[in-house]
Chains A and B, each alone.
Chain A
Amino acid sequence: MEGLITASGLGPALDLLALSPPGWGGNLLRGLVNSMQIALGAFGLGLLIGLLGAYGKLYGGPVIRDLLAVYTTIVRAVPELILILILYFAVTDALNQFLVAQGYGRIQISGVVAGIAVLGVVQGAYATEVLRGAILAVPAGQIEAARAFGMPPLMLARRITLPAMLAFALPGLANLWLIATKDTALLAVVGFGELTLETRQAAGSTKAYFTFFVAAGLLYLLISLISGRVFGWLERRARRGEPGAGGGGR
Chain B
Amino acid sequence: MGQAAAETFPDLPPDQPEAIRIDDLRKSFGMIEVLRGVSLRACEGDVVAIIGGSGSGKSTLLRCINFLETPTSGRIVIGGEEIALRPDGTPASRRQIERARRSLGMVFQQFNLWSHRTILENLIEVPVHVLGVPRTEAVARAMSLLTRVGLAEKAGAYPAFLSGGQQQRAAIARALAIDPRAMLFDEPTSALDPELVGEVLNVIRDLAAEGRTMILVTHEMNFAREVASHVIYLHNGVIEEQGPPASLFGAPRSDRLKKFLKSVS
A residues with a Cβ closer than 8 A to B are 139, 141-142, 144-152, 155, 159-160, 163-164, 166-167, 238, 240-243, 247-250
B249 at the interface (CB under 8 A from A): no
- Identify the closest chain B residue to A241 (Cβ): B158
Cβ of A151 to closest chain B Cβ, rounded Å: 6
Contact status A145-B106, CB under 8 Å: yes
A-B contact pairs, 10 of them (CB 8 A): A139-B112, A142-B112, A144-B112, A149-B105, A149-B126, A150-B100, A151-B126, A152-B94, A159-B129, A250-B161
* Shortest Cβ-Cβ A-B pairs, 3 listed: A150-B101, A249-B161, A241-B158
A63 to B102, CA, bound (A): 34
Q: Could you say which of B16-24, B113-121, B222-230 contacts chain A? A: B113-121
Given A148-B101, A151-B126, A152-B98: A164 and B158 interface contact (C-beta under 8 Å): no
Residues of A within 8 A of B104 (CB): 148
Which one of A145, A167, A240 contacts B112 once the chains associate, using CB atoms below 8 Å? A145
Which one of B98, B102, B110, B158 contacts A249 once the chains associate, using CB atoms below 8 Å? B158
Cβ of A140 to closest chain B Cβ, rounded Å: 9
Residues of B within 8 A of A139 (CB): 112, 115
Contact status B114-A160, CB under 8 Å: yes
Chain B contact patch, size range: 20 to 34
A250 to B125, CA, bound (A): 20
B159 at the interface (CB under 8 A from A): yes
Contact status A141-B112, CB under 8 Å: yes
B99 at the interface (CB under 8 A from A): yes
Contact status A149-B116, CB under 8 Å: no
Number of A-B contacts (CB under 8 A): 86
A164 to B117, CA, bound (A): 9
A145 to B113, CA, bound (A): 8
Residues of B within 8 A of A160 (CB): 114
Question: Which of B105, B108, B112, B157 has most A Cβ within 10 Å?
Answer: B112
Contact status B102-A150, CB under 8 Å: yes
Given A242-B160, A249-B157, A250-B156: A149 and B106 interface contact (C-beta under 8 Å): yes
Residues of B within 8 A of A150 (CB): 97-102, 126, 130
Residues of B within 8 A of A147 (CB): 68, 101
Contact status B156-A248, CB under 8 Å: yes
Contact status B116-A163, CB under 8 Å: yes
Contact status A159-B125, CB under 8 Å: yes
Cβ of B108 to closest chain A Cβ, rounded Å: 6
Cβ of A137 to closest chain B Cβ, rounded Å: 12
